[in-house]
Amino acid sequence: MAQTYVSLKDVAARAGVSFQTASKVLNGNRKVVSEATRERILAAAEELGYLRNALAHGLVTSSTYTVGVIGDDLGDWVLAQFVVGAEQAARRRGHSVLISTTHRDGTDFEGCVRQLLERRVDGILAAAPRSENDPGIGDLLRGRVPAVSIHHVPGGSVPVVGSDHAETGRLAAEHLLGLGHRRIATIVGPEERRVTRSRLRGFRAALDEAGAALPDSRLVRADWTAAGGFTAMGDLIARDPTVTAVFAQNDDMATGALAALWHVGRRVPDDCAVVGCDDLPQAPFLVPPLTSVHIPFRETGEMAMALLLDRIDDNEHADRVLMPVRLIPRASTLGRAATLDRTTPIGRSSTLDQATILDQATTDSADPAGASPENEKERGSPGGKDHASRKRSGTRARTVPGPRAGRKPGAHPQE
C-alpha cells in the first residue's frame, strides 16, 4: 500500500489559512503573518506530521538540495570514513546525498556521473582513487555541475582536499631517526599511486638529510594488504637482516609486517621497530600497539563536502586544502614504556577546525598555477628550520597548520 504524505493544503485547512500563507510560513518567512497565526500554522504542521516536499521546493529554487558522491569499494573502512564525514556535513547544511560506486576494478566512473546527473544533483564529490590516473575523469568532473575530489584529478581545475602525504613519510622517518635507528627500511604501496610516491618522497628526504640513505635493498613494494605486508617484510629480512626499523605506508601492511617479524622470532621493537600509517582503530590494540601516522579521514570528507557546498553556493573557496597529519607513538617503536592508551602526537599542535582551515586555505597567497601536491618543496631538516615556512606549489593552496599530524589491493584513497 502506497504511503500518503500530509500536504500543505492539509496544514492550511487545519490552521484556517490559505495554502499560500501556510507555504510561506513553513518555508521560513516570518513577516507575512502575525506571530499568533505563525504559531498556529506550525502547530498544525506538527500535529499532522507534515514534512516539507523537497522535490517541490527544488522546482521553485532550481536546486534539488542533493549532492552526489562517487566512491570505490565502500567496504574499505578508510574510504567509508570519507563518505560518512561528507554525508554528515551535507546533512548539516540541508542537503541529501546520493552515493554511486564504481566497479571493483575502478571502472564505470562515467556511468556513475551520468546516473547522478540524471537525478539533477547540485554537485559531485569524487572519492574514487582507483580512477585518479584516468584522463577522462577530469573531463567529466569539469562538466555541468561543481565538483570536488579527495584525490588527484588529471588536468586539474577541480578542487582537491587531501592530506600532506609527504609529511607522513617525513614524520615516520624523523621518529625512527630520533630513536637512534639508521638501518631503516620501508614497505610501500603500488608505484602508480600518487600517495605512494608522496609518502616515499617525504620519507626518503628525511633520511637523506640525516645521512641515512635508503638503498634499494631496503625498499619493497606491496599492495596495501596485511598479506602483502607479511610477504614484503619477509623479503626485507632476506635482503638485509641488519634492518632495525621499518615504515609501512599503511596500517594493514604494518600489521602484516608485525606478523612476519613474530614468525621469524624477531622482537618488536627490540630487534626491529615498526611504524604504520592511517592510525586505524585497531592500531592501539595490536601486539605490540602500533605506532602510526594519523590521517584525518572523516574530517577530510567533511572538509571536502563543505568546499563543494561553497562552490554550489558560489562562495569563495580554496582550490586545494591539505589536512594536517600527526604521528601517534606506541609500543611498536617505544617498547613497554609506551602504554596502551598513549596518544600524544608528535608534530605541530593545533585543532582541526573546519571554518579556520577553509578560511586559511582560501585566503592564502597563490603560487604558480596548475602545480600538483606532488611538486611540494620539502621541509627543512628535523628540528632545524621552521616547518611552517615552506612554500607550497599550487593555486590558492595551503598545507593547513595542525598536528604534524583492512583495504583491498590498490584501494588506498587519498592523493
If asked whether residues 191 and 42 sit together in one domain, one would say: no
Same domain, 216 and 346: yes
Q: Looking at the structure, tell me whether residues 171 and 40 fall in a common domain.
A: no
Question: Could you give the C-alpha distances from 199 to 100, 293, 380, in angstroms and in order?
Answer: 29, 11, 16
CATH number at residue 199: 3.40.50.2300
pLDDT of residue 49: 81
Bridge-based pairing of strands 291-294 and 326-328 is antiparallel
* Domain that residue 27 falls in: 8-52
In the chain, the percentage of residues whose pLDDT exceeds 70 is 76
User: Has residue 1 been placed in a domain?
Assistant: no
Distance (Å, whole) CA 401 – CA 190: 29
Strand partners, 220: 187
Residue 147 forms part of a structural domain: no
pLDDT recorded at residue 3: 55
Backbone angles phi, psi at 153, to 5 degrees: -120, 120
Q: Give the C-alpha separation, 109 to 128, whole Å.
A: 8
The pLDDT of residue 12 is 87
Of 16-30, 34-48, 199-213, least confident by mean pLDDT is: 16-30
> Is a pLDDT exceeding 50 seen at residue 89?
yes
Q: Tell me if 244 is assigned to some domain.
A: yes
Q: Which span out of 10-14, 150-154, 186-190 was modeled with the highest average pLDDT?
A: 186-190
pLDDT score, position 381: 36
> Cα–Cα distance between 229 and 249 in angstroms, integer?
10
The pLDDT value given to residue 73: 78
DSSP 3-state assignment of 280?
coil
Mean pLDDT over residues 214-229, rounded?
A: 96
Does residue 181 share a domain with residue 42?
no
- pTM here is 0.72
Who wins on pLDDT, 215 or 342? Answer: 215
Q: Residue 160: in which H helix or E strand, if any?
A: strand 160-163
| Per-residue pLDDT tens digits for 329-385 | 999 999 876 644 444 455 543 344 555 444 544 444 333 333 333 333 333 333 333
Angle among Cα 56, 59, 64 to the nearest 5 degrees reads 85
**Residues constituting the chain:** 415
Write the pLDDT tens digit of every residue in 38-75: 888 888 888 888 776 555 555 455 567 899 998 887 88
> What is the reported pLDDT for 413?
53
**pLDDT band for position 412 (cuts 50, 70, 90):** low
Quick check: is 152 in a domain?
A: no
Cell matching residue 405:
599530524
- Please enumerate, as own/partner, the contacts of 387-391 that have beta carbons within 8 Å and a separation of 24 or more: 387/348, 388/348, 391/367
Does the structure show a pLDDT above 60 at 194? yes
End-to-end Cα separation, the chain, in angstroms: 48
Asked if residue 236 is part of any domain, the answer here is yes
Residue 225's pLDDT band, with cuts at 50, 70 and 90, is very high
- Give the residue among 156, 99, 157 at the shortest CA–CA distance from 128: 99
Q: Is the pLDDT of residue 285 over 60?
A: yes
Work out the average pLDDT over 145-174: 90
Q: 168-185: per-residue pLDDT in tens?
A: 999 999 999 999 999 999
What whole-number distance in Å separates Cα of residue 50 and Cα of residue 275?
A: 54
The answer to whether residue 273 is domain-embedded is yes
Under 8 Å between Cβ of 189 and 195: yes
Q: CB atoms < 10 A from the CB of 133, how many?
A: 14
Q: What is the mean pLDDT of the chain?
A: 80
Number of domains, the chain: 2
Q: Is residue 124 a part of any domain in this protein?
A: no
Q: Which amino acid belongs to residue 203? A: F
Q: Are 136 and 108 in contact (CB under 8 A)?
A: no
364 domain residue, yes or no: no
The cell numbers describing 292, all together, are 602510526
Residue 15: give its domain's CATH number.
Answer: 1.10.260.40
DSSP 341-361: T----BS------HHHHHHHH
